[in-house]
Structure 1
Amino acid sequence: MSGHTTLPEHERELLHKAVRLQWVSLFVMALVVTSVGLVAGQSQAMRTAFAEDALALLPPIVFLVGVWRTGKSRDPDHPYGHHRAIGAGHLVAAVTLLVLGASLVWNGASGLVKGEHPPIGVFSFAGVTVWAGWLMIVVMAIVMVPPMILGRLKMKLARPLHDKVLSADADMNKADWTTGAATIAGVTGIGFGLWWADSVAAILVSLSILWDGWKNIREAVRDLLDARASEIDSAEPHPLVDKLRDEADRTDWVDRATVRVRDMGHVFHSEVMVVPRRGVDPTVDQVEELRRRCQELDWKTDDTVVVVMHHLPKELVPPDQSSTSGTNT
């Protein structure tokens, strides 16, 4: 179940896989954060990587809480169900990402302007003195692997489930392993005497975090303000918008139709507005039959209503039909 919507068997199994994957992700990323924290030392790039890895724990938590919340049934106080929990979680993760990215950019830039030379010491291993930077590089090379795998698996599930929190989490995992690559470059630069390489790497990583935060917060706010439903990582209308309109247009008693669809999380709330043909007074059964066909187009259109009108709202009529938006034939 997702609110009042019963997911098809395939999507229900995908959601169960996503939940299991997020629990695995929490465990693995907790190990990654601990490993990076133990070897971070005074390196700005390493501390930046540690902060980003710690932040990577937030999206899985938000996802799990959101899935639990959306499973609650709708009631008089929540007539649309609890699907907005996904959007709210997306916004929380995005704001945190944006604030942290800005903070880390400032820290990295300050270190560069002040000319800070990060000290990376040595340690003794089996009687041999070893530069600590080598240990940092080895650890970062190892911890790059889990986010790379987890991110790809999450994105494969995010699209069919239409889950933007899962998509944002996949972006975060991508940022994690690119952070690791940049951190290795920064620490290596220090080893060659390029003191500024550490701060530059930290700034580049922080800018990536900042961009991910801005992109996700823009998308989260757009959905919460009831913008037209779109696909993940796209501002283009979701294909179901046109499919709903086409389904209404092919109905014999409908003269003209338009739709408005808003993204509620995993599912859409769709309104199909129709103008009957001149002289036709559609029955309740005819309207209900159209609504049923629209619902059956896709599991995401389960919450669909059909509104019979004399005239279509002109601001909702596609440009190519606007010249006849107020007429019946």
Structure 2
Amino acid sequence: MRVDDSAIPSSAIAVSAAGQRRAPGRRAAPGTAPRGGATGTVLAGLGVAAFSLTFPGTVWALEGLGPWSVVSVRMVLAGLIAGGCLLALRVRPPARRQWPGLLAVAAGTVVGFPLLTTLALRTSTTSHAAVVVGLLPLTTAAYSALRTGERPSRTFWAAALTGAAVVVVFAVWQSGGAPTTGDLYLFGALLVCAAGYAEGGRLAREMPGWQVIGWALVGCLPVSLAGAAIALSAESVRLSGHTVAGLVWLAAGSQFLGMVVWYRGMAAIGVARASQLQLAQPLLTLVWSVLLLGERPAVAAPLAAVAVLVCIAVTQRART
């Protein structure tokens, strides 16, 4: 079954093609990021804004559901949304060579990261988890350099490592000098999510970003449906306004719409550069933790956030 181009939104075609366009007669040097300009940066930034609400949404969902129920129900809802979009637009399945990458996306961003961070948030505060996950840009850039051939400059790496060091020092200081069990879950989440982001960014150069996350979610539906049935029967269920709102945002906002714009942004400006925009995510999540959850982050949090934002400015100017 083929897809009629007229059935796909023109914006989706334009953005997904951004990573493919080149000047006539010229080819981009190996390892350089596609030229997407301000559009790619804005799209990736919107993804970061959506992701910054993931931890508060998870905390709300955990008020009425167990961790395994939150993750599995989130996957089911997001998979149904994605499947509906793919069916409505009559999108044909990906090529066989693209499925290994989609499996990596599913393992990292659909299953691994949500599960590990949900388990971590049972004992860690939202603000603490947000700062630890600030390491994600560095792990994503490192994985991308090994997997996709991108070779960021020394200035890029120096700024990224500085931002990561700020995050590590802050996290260890807030934990009292030693990593907690929640930190171990979060560090594991960083590794699997970095692989999922990098593979998704690579695939988004070949197919629209919404289809990357869409097929990953649909591919997980059999597992997520079975998992939801088991988890809901084994864990207590106490639905409330917060629980429902948290689940809806996790499925529609963080897991689907956020991923759509995020992968499109990475396809336009490159995985390594887009990943550095996530250095702003801890700051945004800290703000949400105060406004939505009533948490009181440590006094050093704003200082760490400012230092991280400076690193963002440097990495966005550094040539790859």
Q: TM-score if structure 1 supplies the norm length?
A: 0.29
Tell which structure's C-alpha radius of gyration is larger.
1
Higher relative contact order (CA 8 A, sep 6+): 2
Q: Which has the higher helix share?
A: 2
